[in-house]
Amino acid sequence: MYSMYEALARERMRERREQAAQSRLCSQLASARLWRRLAAYSARQEARSQRHLAERSAVDYQLVA
Quote the mean pLDDT of the chain.
91
pTM: 0.64
The 3-class SS string of 7-32 reads HHHHHHHHHHHHHHHHHHHHHHHHHH
What torsion do the CA atoms of 36, 41, 45, 51 make, to the nearest 10 degrees?
80
Confidence of residue 65 (pLDDT cuts 50, 70, 90): low
Confidence category of residue 64, pLDDT binned at 50, 70, 90: low
Q: Which of 14-18, 49-53, 55-59 has the lowest mean pLDDT?
A: 55-59
**Distance between first and last Cα of the chain:** 96
Max distance between CA atoms of the chain, in angstroms, equals 96
Task: Look at residue 37 and tell me whether its pLDDT is greater than 70.
Answer: yes
Q: Sign of torsion, CA 54 48 45 29?
A: negative
